[in-house]
Amino acid sequence: MGVGTALDTFTAWGFDLFMAPLERWKLHRIRTHLVPSASGDVLELGAGTGINLRYYRHDQVRTLTLSDRDDRRAVLTNRMHRLERRLGDEVRVARIDAERLPFPDDSFDTVVATLLFCSVDCPPCGFDEIARVLRPGGRYLFLEHVLPARSGTAWLFHQVNPVWNNLSRGCNLNRDTTAEMERAGFVLDPVHRDGSHGVFVWGTAYPDTRNG
């Protein structure tokens, strides 16, 4: 294992530990409702350490492609092997940037991304790529954290964001990701928010074929 890969692996496990309380308190419930609806040929972007792996349903997923911009394949592969019997053999792991997907048009029935677009350099590029690789009738399942709706909290997030962005290797606290999706031509149905002013949004999005 190279130095870069070892560092990515160490950082990945550290991220899991850091996120563990939030996973138990809130994100586990959201993932339980969101990820099991993935079906057919599935692409997960920003798979990280494979936190979503246990939520996929083997009877609905034909193939599963796990990708991440950082090289966390050692962690992903380890977690994948532990679930191999349940998920089956048609699972691939690759280092892929969400802004430049190396797949032909109409390759997947479902694309999944959770807590990803806070750190994508060009969100419109990523959404365009998702729309391109989805088959007609395909679905994009998403979970993101966004700028809070309450103005006072939003102001605080704007102030903290430069420091947090450096500490977190590119995560942004002040993005309006659902608006970015709509501008990219996605129809969101349904979309849920963690309370009226919460920071987490999740749901299903479809490329609007009327615009293409």
Query: pLDDT of the chain along its 212 residues, tens only?
Result: 443 444 454 455 556 666 678 888 889 999 999 999 999 999 999 888 888 998 999 899 999 998 887 655 555 666 665 555 556 557 788 888 899 999 999 999 999 999 999 999 999 999 999 999 999 999 999 999 999 888 888 899 999 988 888 877 788 989 999 999 999 999 999 899 887 678 999 999 999 875 55
Opening angle at CA 194, ends 207 and 138, nearest 5: 20
> In a 10 Å sphere around its CB, with 0-12 CB exposed, 13-18 middle and 19+ buried, how is residue 194 labelled?
middle
Opening angle at CA 178, ends 175 and 183, nearest 5: 100
Domain total for the chain? 1
Asked whether the beta carbons of 30 and 202 are under 8 A apart, the reply is yes
pLDDT of residue 93: 80
CATH number at residue 146: 3.40.50.150
pTM: 0.85
pLDDT of residue 79: 61
Distance separating alpha carbons of residues 178 and 163, to the nearest angstrom: 24
In this structure, the strands spanning 186-193 and 200-207 are antiparallel
pLDDT of residue 74: 52
Query: Which phi and psi angles does 199 have, rounded to 5°?
Result: -100, -10
Buried b (16+ CB within 10 A) or exposed e, 28-67: eebbeebbeebbebbbbbbbbbbbbbebbeeeebebbbbb
Radius of gyration of the chain (CA): 17
Distance separating alpha carbons of residues 83 and 149, to the nearest angstrom: 38
In this structure, the strands spanning 40-45 and 186-193 are unpaired
Asked whether the beta carbons of 210 and 185 are under 8 A apart, the reply is no
Asked whether the beta carbons of 123 and 180 are under 8 A apart, the reply is yes
pLDDT of residue 3: 38
pLDDT of residue 170: 86
Q: Please give the residue range of the domain that contains residue 187.
A: 3-211
pLDDT of residue 127: 97
